[in-house]
Amino acid sequence: MMNLPKVDSLERKAMLDHALQETSGLLKIDSTWWTFNDGGGFPNLYQIDPGSGEILQTKKIAEAKNKDWEAIAFGEGFIFIGDIGNNRGGRKDLSVYMIDTSDFSLRKNLKFKYPEEFGNPDCEAILTRDSLLYFFTKEHLDWDSKVFSRSLKKGKEELKYLGTLNTESKVTAAFSKRDTLYLLGYKESIVRRPIVWKIPWTGSGFPQQELGKAFFINRNLQAEGLSMLNDSIFLISNEKTKSEAQGLWTFELPLLTQ
């Protein structure tokens, strides 16, 4: 596994409710936790108890469709849900739903397209930062991640290409805290062991991967969501697979990456 340092602190936090077998993202807003199912499911956000995995409430996003929801982020008082899954590369209706947290109504449908020279990639990771929405692609051939951005609130817009991160994995989630970018992904083989990147990201520049660290989790998990319980403990979510039920897991970074 690229001779990466290993996470030894992984613990199952909870089994997720049966209705969340295809959980595909994780978001913390203040003291509340939210998740959703991916493509073909209901256009719902589910508030969950991270300690028990139970659903506390369900919010249907009226006027939204869940063609292939794959990512979630929060910024400037809004939730952003990425209907951006594109495994086969044929979608022309990619968009991000902008949700008002006061009543969970659909404020805007932020449609977008990639610059023509990049084709129509798959993507499962977004985040907000400095009034921009960032996209981290999931590449199925070269296993890097191309980074794009767009405004948070404008209408249809072509994404701006910022650069490529050599993640050596298929990126499934992105999360930032202060001046650090965290990426979650996996290297696909017989098993899917998660890989997590910790990358400095200061100012308005590009993430400084040359100063970053990567490490792997020695567990066969299709990890899809990433956030933090507190300043040191991470929370990840995984879809149900033949080898593992849907659930929530905690871990801390090895000391050498702190």
Residue 18 phi/psi, 5-degree rounding, is -55, -30
pLDDT one-digit tens code per residue, 17-66: 999 999 999 999 999 999 999 987 899 999 999 999 999 999 999 999 99
In sequence order, what DSSP letters do the residues of 122-180 get, joined into one string?
Answer: EEEEEEEETTEEEEEEE-SSS--EEEEEEESS-SSEEPEEEEEE--SSEEEEEEEETTE
Q: How confident is the model at residue 190 (pLDDT cuts 50, 70, 90)?
A: low
pLDDT one-digit tens code per residue, 127-152: 999 999 999 999 998 889 999 999 99
pLDDT at 258 over 70: no
Residue 215 phi/psi, 5-degree rounding, is -150, 165
pLDDT at 189 over 90: no
- Region 221-244 average pLDDT: 95
Domains belonging to the chain, first-starting first, are 6-257 (2.120.10.30)
Largest CA distance in the chain: 47
pLDDT one-digit tens code per residue, 69-94: 999 999 999 999 999 999 989 999 99
CA distance readout (Å), 22 to 25, 177, 215, 241, 246? 9, 26, 25, 9, 7
